[in-house]
Structure 1
Amino acid sequence: LELKNTINTMVDQLNGFASEVTRVAREVGTEGNLGGQAEVRGIGGTWKDLTENVNLMAGNLTGQVRNIAEVTTAVANGDLSKKITVEGQGEILELKNTINTMVDQLNAFASEVTRVAREVGTEGKLGGQAEVAGVGGTWKDLTENVNLMAGNLTGQVRNIAEVTTAVANGDLSKKITVEGEGEILELKNTINTMVDQLNGFASEVTRVAREVGTEGKLGGQAQVKDVAGVW
């Protein structure tokens, strides 16, 4: 009778153990319901150790997945301040390192693009270029596009400044040659037209002054097309 009861108790415990382990494995491994723990009463020894190991595995996996989800959700929401801190080994460790490296690269990318945008767009410090080490694919393309934009803007503004400074100093020999589109092209054409008009104005005034004042040819008139206002 005692043997019968012992064996029947053992069967009940094994059933309970198998049922709980199956439940936790299904919830965590198949259904994605994290946080599950096996609860098997009245067991000891190897069965207790096995139950604890299953719970340890489920607990570790829960912590790892939730930490990874927390960080990737933060990144998706534009928060680059978080990193994966949970312990892991093997492929979990590789995934942790990959995501943390991704966060570092995104931080560097955001920082550099912000710096260049601030320097060029707000502070007027031209010539800035974003430098982001170790990026590839879309991030590399974005960095190159930001640098292309900054480089184009630098070339355009410096060429415009060169010509307008020359005009201010009485040098009408320069024109804007840098490529541009849209409003930059309109500004280029406006300034180049201004230089042409100033050249025409200066040439005509000089001619009349020379004819009347030096050569004694009276009756000369300056003819400057398309000028208005003070000119």
Structure 2
Amino acid sequence: MVEVIDRWAVQGLLESHEAQLVEVLPLPQYAWAHLPQAAHLPLEEFGASAADRLTQARPIIVYCHDWLCDRSPRAARLLERLGFQDVFDYAAGKMDWLSADLPYVGEADLVSRIVRHDPVIASAGDAVSGVEPRVAADPAGVAVVVGEQDVVLGVIGDQELKGVSADARAEEVMRVEVSTVRPSEEVGALRHKMDRGGLAEVVVVTMADGRLVGIVSAAAVHSA
């Protein structure tokens, strides 16, 4: 039976040095970005020759682009019909991997390569008196306010700090409207977005769950 697995299971199988990892997309997409250790075997070549290029005694993980891509489930079933026993489908694909700020290989110029991972961080209940000096000392001039599991709630910058009581809490003064981006976005696309919106910085978060990854400044985008 083919088993659908998530990225944590992929990491576990790879760390055990047992699994074979295979991207089944066409070569241009593999060259753009692929998971470290991933071999390239496009779906079109999943005939009898796949048995010669892969080891049946070892687990195999196949993946494609994302949940909407049907290449990996098709590849997994073809491998099963060829007699492979331990076949795993990383159905969320490489966009799930890239959006989690995990390493990759390829020519893609992604936000994950320029993100700053050490922004000023404040909890929702922190007093503004403790946040303000850290904001003033930081090059970005903002603090990212996070809740449980590092989910981004808002940001605090100079505008939010003007005229507020030192006893105020971060959640009372933070700006909830925050420009965010995923680690998997192309730097060129982010540069255009920031120029068009006049943004000095954007907060980088993981896909779906909105957990903080870091921050990217306009200067970093333009020097990339």
TM range (shorter): under 0.3
Q: Which has the higher contact order (CA 8 A, sep 6+)?
A: 2
Higher share of residues assigned helix: 1
Higher share of residues assigned strand: 2
If you compute each CA radius of gyration, which structure gives the higher value, 1 or 2? 1
